[in-house]
Amino acid sequence: MMVGKSRSGSANYLNYDIITRPIDEFITQKKKEGIEYTYRDIVLATIVRTFYLFPRLNRFVVAGDFYQRYFIDVALAMQKNLRTAEQETTINMRFTGKETLAEIKATMDATIHQALTGKTGTDEFTGGVIGKAPTWLLRIAMKWLYVADRFGWLSEKFIRDQSPFHCSIFFGDMKSIHIDMGILHHLYDFGTCGFHANISKEIYKNIVNQKTLESKVEKVIEFAAAEDERFVDGYTWSMAIKKMKRIMENLSVLERPPEDDEIRHPYMTDKQKKYFAKGMKKLEKKQAKFLREEAARSKN
């Protein structure tokens, strides 16, 4: 298999409309129960669940070598203050993929609140020496960072807390800044992120039913994404997108952890189901081992 030299040069782009009717109905019902969800909560939770069901999406390529992630790391771009046009920042969140919609929302809300009332790891990095360095020194520093990234010399703290580029998913909410189109954002060659996605503000479009050929005006949000084709074949990518659509048409599945009947392909054989379950157990053991090692390091 040919492996592209750069992530940006190996990107495939996708843009499609998400009909919001089932999402709006779900949000309305949950609001009656005293729970408030947003499009961002639901779409991001859907992506996280899809990454869990399709582990191959959660890979990356560095220096021609392929790696599998143990966790689903999400970087969320946000604007701290729209009125003052304060500089954009990012927050980093980590998930196992088995979280419910409520758990993902709680993590995201708490992380956003912390970013709005203080400084994120990205703020500390860009506002420190890097942010104050003269241009010539900044260029040298960035070249060194690229080299260090390629050879694995960057610290775990920088990758986990300060870099928005070492993640499974880089997500942007264009609706929050009132942009009515999904922006096809490029992938970064720095870091490991092989999936960049965003959603637009809701708009109205004439949608044609492909089975009946009847047309109807629907409220939609545009979903735009870029993915690194080097570790995701077209078949897996298309199946993942179909799974996302099915989840958003039946959002109750996000209110509970993944169940056996929600694995990636509904037409899997029993043998394939056992193979998939075995792979998930192996991944969960690696996650537990990493968490134990991380806890031990934090004590020392």
DSSP 166-207: SSSEEEEEGGGGT--S---PPPPSSSS--EEEEE---EEEEE
Q: Which residue has the higher pLDDT, 165 or 281?
A: 165
| DSSP character at residue 71 | S
Q: Are residues 159 and 280 located together in one domain of the fold? A: no
- Domain identity same for 20 and 144: yes
The per-residue pLDDT for 2 is 45
Pair 256, 272 in one domain: no
Task: Note whether 64 and 136 are same-domain residues.
Answer: yes
Cβ–Cβ contacts within 10 Å for residue 280, how many? Answer: 17
Q: What is the pLDDT of residues 219-231, one digit of tens each?
A: 999 999 999 998 8
| pTM value surpassing 0.85 | yes
3-state secondary structure string, 257-283?
A: CCCHHHCCCCCCCHHHHHHHHHHHHHH
- Spatial neighbors of 131 by CB under 8 A, at least 6 apart, are none
Same domain for 188 and 293? no
Q: Are residues 236 and 276 in the same domain?
A: no
Assess whether 97 and 53 both reside in one domain. yes
Q: Are residues 200 and 281 in the same domain?
A: no
The model's pLDDT over 173-224, given as tens digits with 9 standing for 90+, comes to 998 888 888 888 999 999 999 999 999 999 999 999 888 999 999 999 999 9
Residue 2 belongs to some domain of the structure: no
63 located within any domain: yes
Nearest-CA neighbor of 210 among 19, 20, 64, 32?
Answer: 19
Which structural domain, as residue segments, surrounds residue 298? 268-300
Residue 225 burial class via C-beta count within 10 angstroms: exposed 0-12, middle 13-18, buried 19 and up: buried
Number of domains in the chain: 2
Please report, for the domain that includes residue 180, its CATH number. Answer: 3.30.559.10
- When pLDDT is averaged across residues 142-153 and rounded to a whole number, the result is 86
